[in-house]
Amino acid sequence: MKKFYDFLVVGSGIAGLSFALKVANKGKVAIVSKETITDSNTKYAQGGIAAVVSNRDTFEEHVKDTLTAGDGLCNEDVVRMVITEAPERIKDLEKWGVDFDKSVNGNYDFGREGGHSKSRILHHKDNTGYEVEEKLSNKVLQHPNIDVYEHFFAIDIITQHHLGQLVKRCVTPIEAYGLYVQNLKTNEIYTFLADKIYIATGGIGNIYETTTNPPIATGDGIAMVYRAKGLINNMEFVQFHPTALYNPKEKPSFLITEALRGAGAILKNQKGEAFMVKYDERKDLAPRDIVARAIDNEMKNLGVEYVYLDATGIDKGVLNNHFPNIVAKCKLLGIDVTKDYISVTPAAHYLCGGIIVDKNGRSSIANLYAGGEVAHTGLHGANRLASNSLLEALVYSHRSAMDAIENLYDHEIPANIPDWDDKGTTLNEEMVLITQSTKELKQIMSYYVGIVRTDIRLKRALDRLEILYKETEQLYRRSKIRREICELRNSINVAYLVIKMAMERKESRGLHYNLDYPDKIQ
Ligand code: FAD
Ligand code: SIN
């Protein structure tokens, strides 16, 4: 069954929603999202959005902080572009109704996070992402030109390969025409066709056992583009957030925002020592890669599974006003943050690499854009500066929207695109195989491809993954399509890319730390 649109957006986080709002007056838009419209990483963002919108801060300082955190791998042009376009994109958010906290004099109440030399984080309490997701999704739902398909799972990108054409990439560019998408309530598979396609499927946190990401983050967009022979890069740079609440049974891990350290909270080990002083002169506000590695080291030295965050020195009023959700969450677990230490541990949080895009968000596949966490723009380099991610999504959604509008109808969609073909698939119920393989994958990635890596661990990870890959591909070919097997297959694809790119990097840089090559290649 076919559906035709001008613009097709996959994903309804900040990237997908803001792109849709920008193009909707120029054509019909479909947004497909695998859960409800608001289920996304975006909804969980706490700290806020970094932007220079005060005369006590400068673009140059934000640029410098971003480049320093990125450890030599940022694209400086991209960094300058994103940071100087930030104020306009913040205005867009406010126009869509997003409310940032202000102090009594009406100025923005800026938060501070690791790696930032200034307080420049715009926030809404400690649930900025929820505020953004609510306001943008309401706007989208009210727009007459946008159709939202909730519980619709994107399976694969349709290219010339589906027409039986052999494409030599060096001669003919690969072109995208649409996607096969399954309605998860009826199991029907639709052929969505569109002139311009925007992939905004977010991150990959769920390839690890412990993650701050909700279950939707299984790397689907990256895997789809990889299978369609698009270009992917920098997958070895997986960011672990230093301070997820230690509560092993809870999934996803609840985040304790870095802004709490920005307000004065201090990391301590089981002996009560404020240990960050041993690792970096910026102490608790060093960039995330350094803090996460320091915590990992302290935990390994003491043989423990967590360290403490001491927020007892922060003014009670500040805690209640700026961090009400953290205070409430800790209280539920019997922790009074004004008196007790909070147990924290690192958790997989953010992917710096992804689908390679140019400055307008165009991927290497024609008519296919990518934005938000799924994309590799060059902004983050080897380590993302805190709160630069929502900003990147906004700036690139805008740029992609403008480019897509300008180039609308610049090509034809072939008339003979086939519908989904499930001939030869018979299996229906093999859930035990899928759930067990998913568990194994998370273990492989957590034990061998975590914060600290070695060649032998990476090799073992690849060998184990190879077995899972073969078993899963066989199962996939024989099975009726279902979300769980597609997500497992996608997760294996992205795990493979993380491991392979980690093996190729013969140095330690930013988030990629390999004990066999402890130094950076100069
Ligand atoms: P997402 O918001 O993750 O949205 C992805 C969408 O794609 C979802 O709607 C999902 O359902 C859909 N989708 C995925 N696969 C498919 C498929 N196959 N078919 C259909 N739909 C699909 N960044 C900051 O800058 N500041 C912060 O303070 C901050 N705090 C954070 C706190 C937490 C706990 C987490 C997890 C992240 C935080 N980040 C923060 C990172 C930031 O939130 C994300 O990088 C950003 O929200 C990603 O937005 P996105 O639109 O790219 O993807
Ligand atoms: C946080 O609030 O600590 C998360 C910010 C981010 O991931 O950028």
CATH of the domain at 255: 3.90.700.10
C-alpha 43/C-alpha 37 separation (Å) is 10
Residue 457 lies in a domain: yes
- The answer to whether 455 touches 503, Cβ cutoff 8 Å, is yes
Number of domains present in the structure of the chain: 3
Sheet holding 342-351, edge to edge: 238-245, 342-351, 307-310, 266-268
- Can you tell me whether residue 370 is helix, strand or coil? strand
Residue 417 lies in a domain: no
Do 356 and 343 reside in the same domain of the chain?
Answer: no
Give the type of residue at 244: A
Centre of ligand 2 to C-alpha 59, Å, is 20
- Among residues 120, 69, 123, the alpha carbon closest in space to that of 98 is found at 123
Would you state the pLDDT for residue 287? 93
Do 219 and 202 reside in the same domain of the chain?
Answer: yes
Do 42 and 110 reside in the same domain of the chain?
Answer: yes
- Copy the structure tokens of residue 164: 């039986």
Residue 426 lies in a domain: no
Ligand 1 lining (C-beta closer than 6 Å): 10-16, 32-35, 39-42, 44-49, 128-129, 153-154, 200-202, 212-213, 216-217, 220, 255, 349-350, 372-374, 387-390, 393
Residue 422 lies in a domain: no
C-alpha 453/C-alpha 238 separation (Å) is 12
Q: Which residues contact 470 (CB under 8 A, 6 or more apart)?
A: none
Do 204 and 131 reside in the same domain of the chain?
Answer: yes
> Token pair 């568990």 is at which residue?
439
348, 369, 391: which is the final residue of a domain?
348
* 110: Cα separation from own chain's centroid: 23
What string of pLDDT tens digits covers the 522 residues of the chain? 999 999 999 999 999 999 999 999 999 999 999 999 999 999 999 999 999 999 999 999 999 999 999 999 999 999 999 999 999 999 999 999 999 999 999 999 999 999 999 999 999 999 999 999 999 999 999 999 999 999 999 999 999 999 887 777 666 789 999 999 999 999 999 999 999 999 999 999 999 999 999 999 999 999 999 999 999 999 999 999 999 999 999 999 999 999 999 999 999 999 999 999 999 999 999 999 999 999 999 999 999 999 999 999 999 999 999 999 999 999 999 999 999 999 999 999 999 999 999 999 999 999 999 999 999 999 999 999 999 999 999 999 999 999 999 999 999 999 999 999 988 888 776 789 999 999 999 999 999 999 999 999 999 999 999 999 999 999 999 999 999 999 999 999 999 999 999 999 999 999 999 999 999 998
Among the bound ligands, name the one nearest to the CA of residue 260. 2
Longest CA pairwise span in the chain (Å):
69
Do 333 and 370 reside in the same domain of the chain?
Answer: no
Q: State the sign of the Cα–Cα–Cα–Cα dihedral 392, 393, 395, 397.
A: positive
Instruction: CATH number of the domain at 435, please.
Output: 1.20.58.100
Q: Which residues contact 248 (CB under 8 A, 6 or more apart)?
A: 305
C-alpha 492/C-alpha 500 separation (Å) is 12
- Among residues 359, 314, 364, the alpha carbon closest in space to that of 338 is found at 314
Do 174 and 93 reside in the same domain of the chain?
Answer: yes
C-alpha 5/C-alpha 179 separation (Å) is 12
Mutate to test the pocket of ligand 2, among 41, 113, 351 (most ligand atoms within 8 A of CB): 113
Do 192 and 283 reside in the same domain of the chain?
Answer: no
Ligand 2 in reach of 257 Cβ (< 6 A): yes
Residue 295 lies in a domain: yes
C-alpha 287/C-alpha 307 separation (Å) is 18
Residue 424 lies in a domain: no
Sheet holding 232-233, edge to edge: 232-233, 354-356, 375-376
Range of the structural domain that residue 480 is part of: 431-513
C-alpha 54/C-alpha 150 separation (Å) is 39
- Copy the structure tokens of residue 482: 């279902």
Do 310 and 173 reside in the same domain of the chain?
Answer: no
Please calculate the CA angle 395-396-399 and round it to the nearest 5 degrees: 90
Give first-to-last CA distance, the chain, whole Å: 55
Would you state the pLDDT for residue 170? 65
Do 378 and 317 reside in the same domain of the chain?
Answer: no
Do 227 and 272 reside in the same domain of the chain?
Answer: no
406, 440, 473: which is the final residue of a domain?
406
Q: How far is CA 345 from CA 117, 242, 267, 312, 493, in A?
A: 25, 6, 11, 18, 27
C-alpha 220/C-alpha 200 separation (Å) is 10
Ligand 1: which residue has its CA nearest to atom 4? 13
Give the type of residue at 258: E
Do 384 and 452 reside in the same domain of the chain?
Answer: no
- Residues with a catalytic annotation lie at 288
Mutate to test the pocket of ligand 1, among 389, 391, 400 (most ligand atoms within 8 A of CB): 389
366, 391, 406: which is the final residue of a domain?
406
> Token pair 């009023």 is at which residue?
317
Do 228 and 315 reside in the same domain of the chain?
Answer: no
- The answer to whether 3 touches 192, Cβ cutoff 8 Å, is yes
